[in-house]
Amino acid sequence: MKVKLSVQNVFKVFGKSPKKALPLIEQGKSKDEIFAETGMTVGVKDASFDIHEGEIFVIMGLSGSGKSTMVRMLNRLIEPTAGKVLLDDVDIAQMSEEDLRQVRLHKMSMVFQSFALMPHLTVRQNVCFGLDLAGDTPVEERNKRAESALDRVGLLANVDSYPDELSGGMQQRVGLARALCTNPDVLLMDEAFSALDPLIRTEMQDELLRLQAEDKRTIVFISHDLDEAVRIGDRIAIMQDGVVVQVGTPDDIINNPVNDYVRSFFRGVDVSSVLSAKDIAQRKQSTLIRKDSDLGIGSSLQLLRDNDREFGYVVNASNKFLGVVSVDSLRASKANGTGLDAALLEDDMRINADTPIGDLIGQVAQAPFSPPVVAEDGKYLGIVSKSIVLEALDRQTGEES
């Protein structure tokens, strides 16, 4: 995967002489100690991570953990105190003002929590803002592109309104259209949906995912909400007191939180959307029938009987899932003299590894046997029984109380 943005050992200290605080950080002094000693605030401390082309990279953390500072160093609205920010291998931190302006005009744009639309401009003029500044597209073309951007966010009817005539959700759609209009490679979104009602917020998240499916941009999305992060993020970085403590896929982070801070985010989180089938699939309590050359129908029947099972799961030597057999289907096959393949049930109820467990409950409850979980490459991962699903959902309520 190509690295689009690479953040390397980036520090930000707010204060009179930030460089002087760097040695103190190196000595291992905490943010509070440094503030007490020098009056300077450590915003971001030694952050390093890569953002891949075409992914939605979420930066998450509590308020004051340095998320906004971090994202503003990506387009240098905030000057890093030390470190590199490489966009396509070019260091933004070292760029000339003019080069930086070109990056902001053409390669990166931003969506803000407060919408930050220009109140004296119409919706159309707001969306054109970036193109107007660059001034290198004819006016006709600008208007056309603005309209197409507005169309994509469903606001074409409001081109001539002023921002204060629109609802919050609509304003942020304009904000999104404004950012998309310059057709940037990278979209920075600082808590873009945090100011919206929960319902509108979900709608906007869907909208973003839809837009992202249409043209794969690199999106850096700031959020303080794990539900949101998990919903839209391909990968998540978690910040704590200016430090990036963990970077990984949502699953990684949920299953292996590095510390209590990270763990604390999951309290109250809707597990049913966070955990997927592969996270709870179990290999125990199921009878595997390995389809080797010498394993016949008879021995298969014997295996099920020995384990007191009604159903068996058939895999090949490289653990590829082949299907499900039942005692009845095996008996029928034996009577007919056909092989194991003929005994496979027509509907093996297989479940995709990435299905959220919230969507599993109905399927698992209705199935006559525990459905098998199968990875994308066809590998067998285990089964999900009713009791496992219930246990997983219960974990959520348990943690909430």
Partner 1 sequence: MSANPWGDTSQTDTASDPWGGGSEDGLDYLADRSNEVEQSFDIIRPFDVDGGIIPLDNMVDSAIDAAVPVLRPFFQVVAKPIDWVLNLFETALVSTPAILVILILSGLAWWLSTRKIGIGTLIGLVIVGLIGAWDQAMTTIALVITSLFFCVIIGLPIGIWLSRSDRAVSVVRPILDAMQTTPAFVYLIPIVMLFSPGKVAGVVVTIIFAVPPVIRLTNLGIRQVPEDLIEAARAFGTSPRQLLLKVQLPLALPTIMAGVNQTLMLGLSMVVIASMIAVPGLGLMVLQGIGRNDIGIATVGGLGIVVLAIVLDRITQHIGSNGR
Ligand X SMILES: Nc1ncnc2c1ncn2[C@@H]1O[C@H](COP(=O)(O)OP(=O)(O)O)[C@@H](O)[C@H]1O
Residue numbers at the binding site for Mg ion (CB under 5 A): 68
Q: Residues 323, 384: contact at Cβ < 8 Å?
A: no
How far, rounded to the nearest angstrom, does the alpha carbon of residue 42 sit from its chain's CA centroid? 27
Q: Residue from 56, 58, 61, 324 that binds ligand X (CB under 6 A)?
A: 61
- Residue 194's Cα: distance from chain center in Å? 16
Which residue of 38, 41, 182, 333 would you call a contact of partner 1, by CB under 8 A?
Answer: 182
- Stretch of 19-27, 66-74, 321-329, 369-377 lying at the interface with ligand X (CB under 6 A): 66-74
380-383 β-sheet, strand order: 351-352, 372-374, 380-383
Q: Report the distance separating Cα 174 and Cα 152, nearest Å.
A: 10
Q: Which one of residues 41, 75, 246, 286 is an interface residue with ligand X (CB under 6 A)?
A: 41
What's the closest the beta carbon of residue 68 comes to Mg ion, in angstroms?
3
Residue 14's binding partner, choosing from ligand X, partner 1, Mg ion, none, with beta-carbon cut-off 5 to 8 A by kind? Answer: ligand X
Is the CB of 4 or the CB of 278 nearer to partner 1? 4
Indicate which single residue of 18, 66, 175, 250 sits in contact with ligand X (rule: CB under 6 A): 66
Give the residue carrying structure tokens 């390093």.
Answer: 48
Q: Would you say 357 and 393 are in contact if contact means Cβ atoms under 8 Å apart?
A: yes
Q: Which of 38, 41, 69, 109 binds partner 1 (CB under 8 A)?
A: 109
Does the protein bind ligand X through residue 64 (CB under 6 A)?
yes
370 belongs to the binding site for ligand X (CB under 6 A): no
Q: Are 238 and 244 in contact (CB under 8 A)?
A: yes
Q: Which of 48, 114, 338, 352 binds partner 1 (CB under 8 A)?
A: 114
Q: Which residues, 219 to 278, sit near ligand X by CB under 6 A? A: none
Shortest gap between Cβ of 110 and partner 1 (angstroms)? 4
Strand partners, 49: 7
The count of chain residues that interact with ligand X, using the rule CB under 6 A, is 11
Q: Which residue is listed with tokens 């930066």?
A: 59
CA dist., res. 36 & res. 353, Å (int)? 50
Question: Could you tell me if 289 and 325 are in contact, meaning their C-beta atoms sit under 8 angstroms apart?
Answer: yes
State how far the Cα of 185 lies from the Cα of 177, in Å rounded to an integer.
Answer: 14
User: Is 134 near partner 1 (CB under 8 A)?
Assistant: yes
- Distance between CA atoms of residues 51 and 357, nearest Å: 28
Residue 44 CB, nearest distance to ligand X (Å)?
Answer: 7
Q: Smallest gap, in angstroms, from Cβ of residue 33 to ligand X? A: 14
> Residue 130: how many CA atoms within 13 Å on its side-chain side?
26
Interface residues toward ligand X, by CB under 6 A: 14, 41, 43, 61, 63-69
Footprint of partner 1 on this chain (CB under 8 A)?
75, 77, 101-105, 108-110, 112, 114, 116-120, 129-130, 132-134, 162, 178, 182, 188
